Structure 1
């Protein structure tokens, strides 16, 4: 057997802890690499053949892995069997709460989505009606996925999430049905319910599956109905003392008619880069929102998509080529003000323009922002377009639920 692993200076792991570490390492490899043979696990982990055989047997008995095929090796034997994680061992739920909708995704233990459903919430719906509709949508998604009993639920919502209590703060900024829904989920489901700020979840998704996969330090600037930011430093999401890290909508910036206040971000960066402000800027450049987003494009979203009207405006400007260039450059100058402030404090080296608008603007908008930023800041910063758009929140919720479930099912040891 392998000698116990050293887990800290002057301290060695007990045999039990060493087994937990080895099991988790093997499971992480099976998650990231897909099905592997025992021989491949031996090579990738550096463990001895007997230790790998023991952990494979242990994980099979726990129902976490199973034989999923054969490697095609010339000589058949135990090492030719391919082992994979039993994806149906647990089902996970991710929810993306918006002002006028909730989207539910049900995924397996590998994070593969098995069912998804979006439920519109009418502007005149009572909180009780909104909660009932959301819960009904969740039940239908679970039934479609064949998962009546989810293992973990993760919810992405706008607003402050207190890191100490896991509850929404600043609730006068968010729809009351959001708070009520989280409470009902925690009361009705005998499973962990994680609550996280929506932009933080989007950052997790962009780091795992999107534009920031090669960076462990970056800032995600969310551009949707409103503005927000998520900060990841050395691979760790930073939330702040009250969960307010990244509330960039409140950032005082030049070019607004007033200053933000404790009760609202009008006058802050939101007034320059929120959806309504972008639509107004487009109109000044001869790109009225009504021309591309329909007559209801003020700042009231479609109940079916909850997409910010400015997304269509920005996409239209990109498609218009030279005709949209002046508007995109003016928008980039505004966005660069917020990015420059973030860079002056954090120097992240990479800023991802996320959300529907950041993704819709693509690398053309990101390049323009980078150009303006270079004139405002001496700090070298890579500015990128988000790869996942508005779906980043839902994907981040699924990933957060998967992490929580795996931390329970795959004990980290130590």
Structure 2
């Protein structure tokens, strides 16, 4: 691939690069298109569309993909974006298992691979674990691992983006407490993003769940751990030090303490151990659901007082136990004990939400990486 200096705005080379980027975007958004289809979507003439496709094929980012049959006259050539490069790998891991999947610029579904993680801290190695995940995900998708340029790692914790990048987590033994991001990038030779798992679940919710109908929402994750994420008009608020939403560590109010005198924090009130003591079966009874709803309502109140979101999404294993009925009970309880009246809904992303969010996060970045290569390729 020949790379040239950026062309000046308004020059033929610059205009050609702009058209090429728009044409490639159309192929990523709509799949294989004929020249006529490209003209209609992009708003260019047939000769211009032909030149665009010729340049993109020469750049190695577009290929001819057969002919479109069933149309009058000669069968038209179908053009398609090449999705075999660049690539990304999305990773989601907890204390016991790592899950990973390949990601391309069009968001094509690829197999999810799983690998059990060692329980012995001495056997843990962050770079080695992510490196194996890249190889496993590429092999499962029949892709070249050397084409993986970007990796997103979802973790149960968070990284301080400043200073030495301290890692705050209780479920990744043996991983470096400082310098994790730099260590991964150096060892893997790729761009690496390390993201909080609840933030990734919120990204999935933005694209597949509550975010479709709500401009802003807070997502509350209820599982072994408790956390929150804040989506403000499509942008995640992570905080200055990356720890926004770590509500499990918050002390509870006097009213909440009256519910459970042994509880000191929100984690004590609605974390996995508390819920296990509260719910006897696979699903909460009506009485258990009401008690759980009151606990969750008290955990949600600090978020409402801080951000006043119009919607609260309940996600995670505990939320899945109660579903829509639990969400309705929490909404009614919040309105009764507080001065806020947000919509409280159960998540609509019920299958591997963290990995789904990591895939969506990466799809946008792999796509931008691909489109940027078009802008850098020298055009005639």
Give the TM interval when normalised to the shorter protein.
0.7 to 0.9
Moved more, 214-223 or 375-384: 375-384
Give matches, 1:127-206, under 5 Å: 127-128=123-124, 135-136=131-132, 138-146=134-142, 147-149=144-146, 150-164=148-162, 167-170=165-168, 173-179=170-176, 185-206=184-205
Given that 2:33 and 2:79 are in contact with CA atoms closer than 8 Å, whether structure 1 keeps it comes out as yes
Report what 1:393 is aligned to.
354
Q: Which runs of 5+ in 2 are unaligned?
A: 1-7, 376-380
RMSD of aligned Cα (Å):
3.2
Q: What's the TM-score, normalizing by structure 1?
A: 0.75
Q: Does 1:40 align with 2:33?
A: no
Secondary structure at 2:119 match in 1: coil
Report what 1:115 is aligned to.
111
- Once the two structures are TM-superposed, the CA of residue 213 in structure 1 deviates from its matched residue by 2.7
Report what 2:85 is aligned to.
89
Q: Does 1:57 align with 2:57?
A: no
- Once the two structures are TM-superposed, the CA of residue 410 in structure 1 deviates from its matched residue by 0.9
Q: Which has the higher contact order (CA 8 A, sep 6+)?
A: 2
Select the residue among 273, 295, 306 that pairs with 1:334: 295
Given that 2:215 and 2:233 are in contact with CA atoms closer than 8 Å, whether structure 1 keeps it comes out as yes
Given that 2:127 and 2:187 are in contact with CA atoms closer than 8 Å, whether structure 1 keeps it comes out as no
Q: CA offsets per residue over residues 347-388 of structure 1, 9 Å max, x none?
A: 322222122222342212122222222224454422221122
In 1: Cα distance, 2:164 partner to 2:355 partner: 18
C-alpha distance 238-48 of structure 1, shift in aligned 2 (>3 A): farther
Report what 2:366 is aligned to.
405
In 1: Cα distance, 2:53 partner to 2:355 partner: 33
In 1: Cα distance, 2:26 partner to 2:339 partner: 41
Q: Which runs of 5+ in 1 are unaligned?
A: 1-11, 259-265, 293-312, 318-323
In 2: Cα distance, 1:46 partner to 1:375 partner: 55
Q: What's the TM-score, normalizing by structure 2?
A: 0.81
Select the residue among 314, 333, 339 that pairs with 1:372: 333
Report what 1:301 is aligned to.
none
Number of equivalent positions: 357
Report what 1:251 is aligned to.
250
Report what 1:279 is aligned to.
276
Report what 1:351 is aligned to.
312
Given that 1:87 and 1:108 are in contact with CA atoms closer than 8 Å, whether structure 2 keeps it comes out as yes
